[in-house]
Structure 1
Amino acid sequence: MNSPRVVVVNGPNLGRLGVREPEVYGHQDLEHLRELCSDWGKELGLQVEVRQSDDEAEVIHWMHQAVDESTPVVLNPAAFTHYSYGLADAAAQVTDAGLTLVEVHISNPASREAFRRRSVISPIATGTITGFGFEGYHLALRAIAGGLRKA
């Protein structure tokens, strides 16, 4: 039996993890996040694929693909969080399809600049996890795995 698949989608500038504002985002890079998510997925019986793009259209395409393939999503929309109605519409298609979508942020946007405090994704997401660094992804994967076991 194949393990259930989960896609972890990261938005703009997350390819710069470890370089961009390490005091906020830590010193670990995207490759380390990929390794962690893969390991956590194996522990939870999930097949996890981690993606990152600075291109809004590509992130939206990945949401559409998740719907078409019935795949739960962990989404760190990064800067798209605050203004991308296109991404919000695509994320709504994920949850409207009955799939879990967990919004994750490495930092806590509510404790940062005022413009970061508004999310167009949170009202659509199944749940939101903020401020726990990479551990937020682990929590999101655990939530998805738990939901899949109940289904």
Structure 2
Amino acid sequence: MTKPIYIINGTNLNLLGTREPEIYGADTLADIEKACGNSAKALGFDIVFKQSNVEGELVDIIQEARTMASAVIINPAAYTHTSVAIHDALKTLDIPAIEIHLSQPAKRESFRRRSYVAEAVTGTISGFGANSYELGLQAAIKLLNT
């Protein structure tokens, strides 16, 4: 049996749908989870979908993924720009890891232009709203199938 793909969500993403919808869209995190689950299942994969506002918990989830997941998709949210701990945890993975963002950080405040996560992942997808998750899932599955 194939290991699931872990989809890891960082700080404040539990507020999607109500927090700055002009930037992040109207989809809730539950909407995104459902869409990802349906897409993954159609492609022969299961997902494990997790969210935390706590940096250490995100590190724990990444460490769990080392042995339990076939790939990782991560939207670290604000921790993208601040977390060496998440960077270091991602560097321990021997599986594909895709960084995703709903918005396009490069078009936002200058402090959002630095991603510690980008230096530790296979690739980054950003700026496509909730579709960034679907694109990340497709990229991870494509990497797993090659």
2:101 to 101, 105, 129: 105
1:134 alignment partner in structure 2? 130
2:116 alignment partner in structure 1? 120
2:63 alignment partner in structure 1? 64
Identity across the alignment (%): 38
CA distance in 1 between counterparts of 2:131 and 2:42 reads: 14
SS in 1 for 2:119: coil
Question: What stretches of structure 1 of length at least 5 have no aligned partner?
Answer: none
| TM-score of the pair, normalised by structure 1 | 0.93
Question: What stretches of structure 2 of length at least 5 have no aligned partner?
Answer: none
- State the superposition RMSD in angstroms: 1.0
CA distance in 2 between counterparts of 1:21 and 1:71 reads: 33
CA distance in 1 between counterparts of 2:28 and 2:110 reads: 26
1:79-126: CA deviation from partner (whole Å, max 9, x where unpaired): 0000100110001111xx2x0000000000000001111000101110
CA distance in 1 between counterparts of 2:9 and 2:138 reads: 18
CA distance in 2 between counterparts of 1:82 and 1:4 reads: 29
CA distance in 1 between counterparts of 2:113 and 2:145 reads: 33
**Corresponding position: 1:80 with 2:79:** yes
In the TM superposition, residue 70 of structure 1 has moved relative to its aligned partner by: 4.5
1:5 alignment partner in structure 2? 4
**Corresponding residue pairs, total:** 146
* Contact 1:4–1:45 under 8 Å retained in 2: no
In the TM superposition, residue 145 of structure 1 has moved relative to its aligned partner by: 1.2
In the TM superposition, residue 50 of structure 1 has moved relative to its aligned partner by: 1.2
